[in-house]
C-alpha cells in the first residue's frame, strides 16, 4: 500500500490492471483496508447517509470531511486518500480552491468534485494550484433533487453521448481520475476506453478500470436499502479482513461486478 500515487494508478489502467477502492471514514477501517492492499480510499460525503443517518449527502460540511479525512490519514499514513468536496463547495472556482485547501491540509491526496463541463474552470484552477482532481459523473448524489431521484443515468442515446462529452471535458481540464456512478455497462466501457485517466465505477459495470463501494454496503450493513450494484462480501466470509480481501480479489479477476450487479 505504501507509496501509491496517481501516476501508479494511471499505470495500472495502462497495464489493464483493475483498481480497487472503498470508502473509509475512520482510522480503524482505514488501517484494515491499507493492510489488505486496497489501492485507494475515498472519504465520501456518503458519510451523511451511513455515519450521520441523513437522507442525502447534502447536509455534509467541509469541516466534517476534514475531520474524517484526518482520522483516515492517521489510520493509514501511506494510503492514497481522496476527499469529497461537499454540496455547494464548488459554486465558484475561488471558493473551491479555499475549501480544497482545507481537505489537502487534512491529509487528502486528491479531491473529488461532482459535475461535468460547468466545473471545467474550477478543475483547471485547482490543478494549476497543485490540487489533484477526481471528477464524478453519471448519478451525482448531490444533484439528486435535480435528477429527480436515485436512478440510472445515460440509458438514452443523447444522455450517453452527453456523458462521454463531459468525461472528455473534465479530463481535458486536468482531472486525473473519474468516478462513474450508475450508468449502463456499455457506457462505462466506452468512457473507460476513450479516457487516458482511470475510470472507477460504482454501478457502471465490470469494464471500467476499477471499482469502488461504500464500505457499509460491502459489509452488508445497510439492510433497509440495498442498491443493485452492491454485493455483501461479509456474508461469504464471516470475517472483515477476509471480506475485504475477497472484494479485492473479485474486482481484480473481473468477477465483480457480475451482470446481476450491473445495468444494461
Helix (H) or strand (E) holding 245: helix 240-252
* CB neighbour class for 149 (10 Å; exposed up to 12, middle 13-18, buried from 19): exposed
Pairing of strands 133-138, 210-213: unpaired
Determine whether the annotation assigns residue 31 to a binding site: no
Q: Which residue in 117, 156, 161, 181 is the catalytic one?
A: 181
Query: From the CB of residue 18, how many other CB atoms can be counted at a distance below 10 Å?
Result: 21
CA distances from 70 to 60, 61, 63, 255 (A): 16, 14, 11, 33
CA 43/CA 52 separation, integer angstroms:
14
Determine whether the annotation assigns residue 45 to a binding site: yes
Determine whether the annotation assigns residue 18 to a binding site: no
CA 176/CA 74 separation, integer angstroms:
25
Annotated active-site residue 181? The verdict is yes
Determine whether the annotation assigns residue 192 to a binding site: no
CA 168/CA 63 separation, integer angstroms:
31
Determine the angle formed by the axes of helices 93-105 and 62-75, rounding to 10 degrees: 30
Is the CB of residue 182 less than 8 Å from the CB of residue 229?
yes
CA 206/CA 256 separation, integer angstroms:
7
Determine whether the annotation assigns residue 46 to a binding site: yes
The annotated binding site is made up of 45-46, 84, 112, 114
The residues annotated as belonging to the active site are 181
The annotated binding site for Mg(2+) is made up of 45, 84, 114
Amino acid at each position: 500500500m505504501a507509496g501509491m500515487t496517481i501516476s501508479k494508478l494511471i499505470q495500472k489502467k495502462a497495464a489493464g490492471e483493475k483498481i480497487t477502492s472503498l470508502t473509509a471514514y475512520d482510522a480503524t477501517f482505514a488501517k484494515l483496508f491499507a493492510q489488505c492492499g486496497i489501492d485507494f480510499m475515498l472519504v465520501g460525503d456518503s458519510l451523511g447517509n451511513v455515519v450521520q443517518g441523513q437522507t442525502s449527502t447534502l447536509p455534509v460540511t467541509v469541516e466534517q470531511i476534514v475531520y474524517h479525512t484526518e482520522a483516515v490519514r492517521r489510520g493509514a499514513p501511506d494510503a492514497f486518500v481522496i476527499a469529497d468536496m461537499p454540496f455547494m463547495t464548488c459554486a465558484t472556482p475561488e471558493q473551491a480552491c479555499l475549501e480544497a485547501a482545507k481537505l489537502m491540509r487534512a491529509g487528502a491526496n486528491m479531491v473529488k468534485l461532482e459535475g461535468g463541463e460547468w466545473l471545467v474552470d474550477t478543475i483547471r484552477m485547482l490543478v494549476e494550484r497543485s490540487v489533484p482532481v477526481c471528477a464524478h459523473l453519471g448519478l451525482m448524489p448531490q444533484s439528486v433533487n435535480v435528477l429527480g431521484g436515485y436512478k440510472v443515468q445515460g440509458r438514452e442515446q443523447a444522455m450517453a453521448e452527453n456523458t462521454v462529452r463531459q468525461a472528455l471535458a473534465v479530463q481535458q481540464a486536468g482531472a486525473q481520475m473519474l468516478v462513474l456512478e450508475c450508468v449502463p455497462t456499455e457506457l462505462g466501457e466506452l468512457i473507460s476506453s476513450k479516457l487516458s485517466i482511470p475510470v472507477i465505477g460504482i454501478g457502471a459495470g465490470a469494464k471500467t478500470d476499477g471499482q469502488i463501494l461504500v464500505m457499509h454496503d460491502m459489509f452488508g450493513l445497510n439492510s433497509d436499502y440495498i442498491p443493485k450494484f452492491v454485493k455483501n462480501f461479509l456474508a461469504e466470509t464471516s470475517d472483515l479482513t477476509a471480506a475485504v480481501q475477497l472484494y479485492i480479489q473479485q474486482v481484480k479477476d473481473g468477477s465483480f461486478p457480475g451482470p446481476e450487479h450491473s445495468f444494461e
